[in-house]
Amino acid sequence: MADQVQELLNVPREFFRDGMQFIHRSQKPDRREFIKISQAVGVGFLVMGGIGFIVKLVHIPVNNVLVGGA
């Protein structure tokens, strides 16, 4: 029973320790890397927004035709 409790208490400790190791090993991106990441995210937003707009543009008229234009 005590082993199970000790094992259960070790899980958060190990998680915290691993997280702190990750934080200490990681570093901030430099300016060039940050700009590249920002551009990639921006392009992703634009692509997903365009796809959503096109789907909505096509879906609403098709839906109105199928449903009967309530």
> What is the structure's pLDDT at 60?
81
- Backbone φ and ψ for 68, nearest 5 degrees, come out as 110, 10
> What is the structure's pLDDT at 70?
56
Cα separation of 41 and 60, whole Å? Answer: 28
Show the tokens assigned to 27.
């570093």
> What is the structure's pLDDT at 48?
98
Cα separation of 46 and 2, whole Å? Answer: 55
Residue spans of the chain under pLDDT 50? none
